[in-house]
Every structure is written in C-alpha cells, then in structure tokens.
C-alpha cells in the first residue's frame, strides 16, 4: 500500500510540508475521500471489544457500514462536505501487487486456521485482521448507505486515489482524503491523512502540501514520481538494495530512473530487464480518470426512513442511535457556513522587503517547543500550527 517510507523522507527533508490540524478547522471544506481505503480501514478498526467484527443476525459483517455511517456523520458535524470515491477496475500493472496480497492473505488464512485449532486467541485476532478483504458486497452496501445519507459518491474508472487527486486539482474539492501516500504521485495539491480515524483516538489530521514537498525535497514533479517508484509503489517492484536514503540521493543526482539505471552497479543491484517503471510512471502521470465536466457532486437531504430501513431492519443497528445520526446530518444541511479570511485577503509574499531591511528574527526554542507543542495540541484542542523551526 502506498509508497514505502515516503512520509519519513518528507519529514526529514521537507518538514514544512506536513501540518497537523484538528478536524473542526476543516469546516466548509469539500473533501474527496478514497472510499475503498476507508472501507478497508473500517473493516479492520471498527470492532467489538473482543476483537470480533460487528455482524448482523445472519452473521454478515457490518463494520464497514458502522464506520461509514458514524465517521461520515462526524465529518459532516464538523462542517466538512465529504464526497466518496470508489475504486474502479484495478490497473493491469497492479495485478502483480494484488497477486502478492492474495498470496499473503492465503498464508494468513492458513495461519488463522492453525490459530483457531490451537485456540490461540491473540494470534487468532492478529491473523483474522490480516485476512480482511473489502468485497464487492461491502462496497455496494456502502454506496447504498451513502446514497440514503445524501452523501455523493463517484465510481472512478480506475484507481480511487487518482480520481480524488483529479478532483482536488480541478478545484472541485479542497483536498484528497486517503491514507495512501501515492495520492501525492497523482498530484493532489493537498493530501489529508487520518481523516476518518475514530474520534476516540484524538489524532490530529495530517495535512500534506505537494508544492512544499517538492520544494523541500528540491525535485520536480516528474522526479518526485520517479523517486516514489524507486521507493516502492503498488505498480512495480523497487530495486533491491536501494533504500529511501539512497533512492533520494540517486534521483537528486541523476534526475530520472533511466539515468539512475545507467549509473547503477548492476551487480550489486540487479534490475530485471522488463522492469516496468516507465509504465508505472505513465500511470501516475496520466491515470485513467473521469474528466471533471462529467462529474456532478451534490449533497442532498438524507432519507431518514430509508436509512432506518436499511440499517435497523436489515442490519440490526440500534434505531434510536441511527435516527439521532440522521438528525445530525439534517441539522448540518441547514447551518450557514462560516467564511474564511483567506477568501478575502491574500497572503502577502514573504520577505518582500529587501535583505537589508529584513527584520531580524529572534527565537531559538526549537526542540523544546516542538515537543511541548504536539502534546499541547491534543490536550487543549485549540492550537493548529505550533511554532516550528525555521528553514
């Protein structure tokens, strides 16, 4: 999933590109959410205390519905307007990765069986989580629920992240919401992570700006994509023996994978002849997406009885809670939106004054402040951007 160690690399070289913010500061924002990723998360994370998935009377899993319902409401309550994007068909290049995942799942299923036979509860839970797969039924049920909730969704022709990124780029939404770092490779201007996390975790949302990532790493978008391929993406293997640090230096030095390959010691780092890096690059650069003219995103009033019929009658949810949730959705449809100053005033260019007139900046409490800052953020629920070390 995603790009290996990219977050670490960004943290090291472009710390300014990552900001943490609280969910309440996203009011009024439209956000495209990678639905397939969220459903998978819900299947893993939304569980009973014994670690079992939530099920209805007939034993069918309902974790994904629970997650989609309540976490969407949490976003809407905070003034966010979510639009979900579902995966279409996987790109052919991903088949290798998918094959691997399937293999791993089969292994885990075997281990799970073993654990059940042995009665090892801890392992049972561990392997059970690893065998989780979001099926077509899960996806269909979520779509049905979203429709009843009045939340729009789009089915991408191919990868959902790519479609999210396209929506953000076209200005249809403020950002893409996904855990998958490769959304950045599809050039989303802003990526939000941890958006659909449970409230109980008290985790701030991680906001990653592509322009600052590129600036901090000192690479162009094309170089960035090549870097991500070297780090290891879903579409092709990475080169053996090349870690994040090495990959970054190679791209900085040679600018493209082609040139890296020419200069690489093939004995130490064997590269297969038909390594499909160029195809992977094409996928990132020109992914299969719906053009934005064909996309109609509209939030509508929730169908209370429909939601109740589905969740309560079919899936055995608690009626009172479901109705309360729908009420929240309805309430938030009516409230007026608080404007932002960014819409009225523009950011003045930094350091517009000439070098000699530039004010001297005092203050060096870097490390202490950072520690204190992060902690405080969670406690007070108030601060968003804390003092950070200056570039």
Which of positions 40-69 make contact with other proteins (CB under 8 A)?
Answer: none
195 SS3 class: coil
Pick from 104, 113, 268, 340: which binds other proteins (CB under 8 A)?
340
Residue range at the interface with other proteins (CB under 8 A); choices 248-256, 258-266, 295-303, 311-319:
295-303
| Nearest partner of 34 among 131, 148, 160, 223, judged by Cα | 160
We find the least distance from the C-beta atom of residue 87 to other proteins, in angstroms, to be 27
- Residue 200 or 336: which CB sits closer to other proteins? 336
Residue 339 touching other proteins (CB under 8 A): yes
- Residue 52 or 388: which CB sits closer to other proteins? 388
Pick from 50, 345, 354, 355: which binds other proteins (CB under 8 A)?
345
Q: What value, to the nearest 5°, has the Cα angle with vertex 48 and ends 43 and 52?
A: 65
Residue 24 touching other proteins (CB under 8 A): yes
Query: Judged by CB under 8 A, how many residues of this single chain contact other proteins?
Result: 44
Pick from 49, 263, 294, 346: which binds other proteins (CB under 8 A)?
346
Q: Which residues contact 169 (CB under 8 A, 6 or more apart)?
A: 187, 188, 189
Q: What value, to the nearest 5°, has the Cα angle with vertex 181 and ends 255 and 216?
A: 45
DSSP structure string for 309-328: IIIIIIT---HHHHHHHHHH
* Strand partners for 155: 86
Pick from 50, 342, 355, 379: which binds other proteins (CB under 8 A)?
342
Which of positions 347-386 make contact with other proteins (CB under 8 A)?
Answer: 347-348, 350, 357-366, 369, 382-386
Task: State how far the Cα of 268 lies from the Cα of 247, in Å rounded to an integer.
Answer: 15
- Residue 71 or 81: which CB sits closer to other proteins? 81
Residue range at the interface with other proteins (CB under 8 A); choices 130-138, 221-229, 276-284, 294-302:
294-302
89: number of Cβ within 10 Å: 11
Give per-residue burial for 163-188: e unless 16+ CB within 10 Å, then b.
Answer: bbbbbbbeeebbbbbbbbbbbbbbbb
Residues that bind other proteins (CB under 8 A): 16, 21-22, 24-25, 27, 298-300, 333, 336-348, 350, 357-366, 369, 382-390
């Amino acid at each position: 999933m995603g790009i290996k160690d990219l977050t670490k690399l960004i943290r090291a070289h472009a710390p300014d590109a990552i900001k943490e913010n609280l969910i309440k500061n996203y009011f009024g924002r439209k956000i495209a959410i990678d639905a397939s990723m969220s459903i998978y998360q819900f299947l893993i994370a939304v569980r009973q205390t014994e670690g079992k998935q939530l099920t209805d009377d007939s034993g069918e899993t309902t974790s994904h519905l629970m997650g989609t319902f309540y976490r969407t409401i949490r976003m809407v309550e905070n003034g966010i307007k979510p639009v979900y994007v579902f995966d279409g068909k996987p790109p052919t290049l991903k088949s290798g990765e998918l094959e691997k995942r399937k293999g791993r799942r089969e292994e885990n299923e075997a281990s799970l069986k073993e654990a059940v036979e042995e009665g090892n509860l801890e392992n049972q839970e561990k392997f059970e989580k690893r065998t989780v797969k979001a099926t077509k039924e899960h996806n269909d049920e979520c779509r049905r629920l979203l429709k009843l909730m009045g939340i729009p969704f789009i089915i991408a022709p191919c990868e959902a992240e790519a479609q999210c990124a396209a929506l953000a780029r076209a200005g249809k939404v403020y950002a893409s919401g996904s855990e998958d770092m490769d959304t950045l490779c599809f050039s989303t201007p802003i990526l939000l992570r941890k958006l659909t996390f449970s409230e109980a975790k008290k985790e701030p949302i991680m906001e990653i700006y592509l322009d600052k990532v590129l600036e901090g790493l000192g690479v162009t978008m094309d170089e960035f994509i090549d870097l991500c391929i070297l780090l290891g993406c879903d579409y092709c293997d990475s080169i053996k023996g090349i870690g994040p640090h090495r990959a970054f230096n190679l791209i900085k030095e040679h600018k493209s994978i082609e040139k890296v390959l020419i200069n690489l010691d093939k004995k130490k780092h064997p590269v297969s002849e038909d390594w499909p890096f160029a195809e992977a690059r094409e996928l990132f650069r020109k992914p299969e997406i719906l053009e934005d003219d064909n996309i109609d995103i509209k939030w509508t009033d929730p169908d209370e009885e429909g939601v109740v019929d589905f969740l309560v009658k079919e899936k055995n949810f608690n009626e009172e809670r479901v109705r309360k949730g729908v009420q929240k959705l309805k309430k938030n449809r009516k409230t007026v939106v608080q404007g932002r100053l960014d819409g009225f005033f523009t950011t003045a260019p930094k350091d517009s004054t000439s070098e000699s007139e530039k004010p001297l900046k005092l203050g060096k409490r870097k490390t202490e402040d950072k520690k204190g800052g992060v902690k405080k953020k969670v406690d007070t629920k108030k601060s968003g951007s804390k003092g950070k070390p200056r570039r």
